[in-house]
Structure 1
């Protein structure tokens, strides 16, 4: 099937909508039944240009946890978080933190000692992992949804490093990226606030951020092309199978892409670091700041990847997909 096989009128309407209302998009790919129906790039970007995909990183990292369990590095998501950090000493009287499990972190149902995530305090610390552990627990209840964009997922990075003995990037390259022919580039060290902001906003970024201990964040900092994102989406649609090889355990994909928790305030469901758009219709997505998306509609066998430049309050990509993309390719 030829790329961009779409009626000219519908193509013009779609691209007019993108240019008018979603003008920070750098690339869109639509796959159906594993074939490319649409691929286009915007804002001077090409197929080989990467963008920082922000929290899409979380959903990619979810796959790494599943692979680590399947390979025996992690016994179970019911393991306690502190089991992986024997060197960490909790403060006297702290009990909640001792009961937090990997599953609590994956489903965003772990409690923290803050109402609003203290980004500045976290990033200015000389040890992000220790800072994250210091913020875990508190007086909240385990099991209540509390979205942690940065802190909680960084602890998951530490768990992967501790359990596998490899860096996050090395483990990901060996077990996920290389089989999919995804090239990530080098680790990115951000020395100060200016470099941090530049990474979020610059057009030409590549690689994966690391902290001062060499740990890649599970929640952000990864750069991908729209093709890379589409490959990951297709891998999930195909239950972890890629060119005849099982890359991600089938059971992990099934389990991690169904509802385990819910953010009632926004009426959003959550799996294991994946947003569940419609549990019944088996639609789920990786969603990142600025409008970065890997969207999977299992029943319709559609994958949509959208890469976007950072911008505050980006317009809802799910609306774009549901109202302008899916109807064209159903």
Structure 2
């Protein structure tokens, strides 16, 4: 099945006016939306992209990845190769285990990894280190497993590691013939640890339609194109409330947690990922919703869903709010910057910026270089690439330092004596703004990231 069937909203019992109002509310919000796809009764009734983002492009899903990891574990359990009560330490040898295995670590089972009740007092992900399996197993387990819910991406990584120990294959390779292939999600890529283990809890990239297929597969309780890909009983268990998570603050994050799925209000459930990646399932309404975005407030996105989409699913008409004539994220505009043609060199840093040249015609050229400090792990150290920033419309190019290469767009303008460059990584939520100001013989660059797990701002100065 190559693509999902399309239909008008009215053919599936929905009001076009109501969906127009939903799209308008998303567009008017402060939550930067990239793509949306809504299905009702197995048909796509809404598919929108905010240019320059595209439905067909891969999008980094962050923790939506966890829900796919759950499918891998469910398949292993269905095959009789794993059980919920298997102890985590039983899959690893002395090269990974600490010298002394504590009682709490010994008691930790697969079930606890799935439900985020490992007993750790905080997420383990930032403390795993290069040898992530050994890093996880060496951490103190402060509480008895099964007693405390703490969101824990490191726990999901361990599920991926266990699957790889059992099958001899990465989670991505294991799921290709069993899930991604049947769904037609051949574009799937999954980042790996230094040990060659699919991260599990994060790192999966799919396009919007593939994620929508997954949401429909969930709604159909693991059935796809006439075949039962994952046992229906596993889908039921994974998506129901397994443990309470009342300590969470936002209303849609305290409805209970399943096996790598969040429960939500109105009897819905979802996989979600940082900065507004959503895979929502509404069993009561035979509907699913996928959103990719760069949202600074994910609860605000959920509130828009309940305020504007839920009434539409319940049969209400819209309030007359028209859909915007064009959905797009425009580049910042302003006068052109007149540079002197100088090239400013920078010391190696995590940004990967090697040099910046500012030309009299208003363009700027940023040279990026892969190195041990940068996130360009796929490219050989010393590999470089130029990105050109120019006034006017978005300028599209490709970030070749990534494998596979990714679409990016750039733009530039002058803010007084400052050259302002904007870079959008279109297969992620990330946008970087560089404010470049000549200062004597040097160039000061203030970088700001729209969303990030770390600091949003950093400053560089040329040497």
Question: 1:222 matched to which residue of 2?
Answer: 204
Question: 1:318 matched to which residue of 2?
Answer: 302
2:7 aligned with 1:2? yes
In 2, Cα distance between the equivalents of 1:43 and 1:145? 43
Rg larger for? 2
CA RMSD of aligned residues (A): 2.0
Question: 2:123 matched to which residue of 1?
Answer: 117
Give 1:90 deviation, angstroms. 2.9
Name the SS for the 1:179 alignment partner: helix
Give 1:62 deviation, angstroms. 0.6
1:120–1:260 Cα change, 3 Å: closer
Give 1:43 deviation, angstroms. 3.9
In 2, Cα distance between the equivalents of 1:7 and 1:256? 32
Q: Equivalences for 1:37-186 in 2 at 5 Å?
A: 37-74=45-82, 76-87=83-94, 88-92=96-100, 94-112=102-120, 115-117=121-123, 119-122=125-128, 125-135=129-139, 137-185=140-188
In 2, Cα distance between the equivalents of 1:246 and 1:118? 34
1:282-324 Cα deviation digits (max 9, x unpaired):
4211111111111111121111111123x54445332222211
Q: What TM-score do you get using the length of structure 2 for normalisation?
A: 0.61
Name the SS for the 1:215 alignment partner: coil
Give 1:95 deviation, angstroms. 1.3
Looking at secondary structure, tell me which structure has more helix per residue.
1
Gapped regions of structure 2 (runs ≥ 5) = 1-5, 249-253, 315-463
Question: 1:276 matched to which residue of 2?
Answer: 263
1:3–1:217 Cα change, 3 Å: farther
- Higher relative contact order, chain-length normalized (CA < 8 Å, sep 6+): 1
Give 1:164 deviation, angstroms. 1.2
1:223-251 Cα deviation digits (max 9, x unpaired):
12221111111111111111110001011
Question: 2:293 matched to which residue of 1?
Answer: 308
1:253-275 Cα deviation digits (max 9, x unpaired):
11111111011112330010111
- Equivalent pairs counted in the alignment come to 300
Gapped regions of structure 1 (runs ≥ 5) = 186-206
Kept in 2, the 8 Å contact 1:225–1:307? The answer is no
Give 1:214 deviation, angstroms. 0.9
In 2, Cα distance between the equivalents of 1:42 and 1:315? 20
In 2, Cα distance between the equivalents of 1:134 and 1:312? 33
Question: 1:289 matched to which residue of 2?
Answer: 274
Name the SS for the 1:103 alignment partner: helix
Name the SS for the 1:262 alignment partner: coil
Give 1:126 deviation, angstroms. 2.2
Q: What TM-score do you get using the length of structure 1 for normalisation?
A: 0.84
Give 1:175 deviation, angstroms. 0.9
Q: 2:42 aligns with which of 22, 34, 44?
A: 34
Kept in 2, the 8 Å contact 1:293–1:317? The answer is no
95-104 vs 317-326, which moves further:
317-326
Question: 1:252 matched to which residue of 2?
Answer: 234
Kept in 1, the 8 Å contact 2:123–2:150? The answer is no
Name the SS for the 1:295 alignment partner: strand
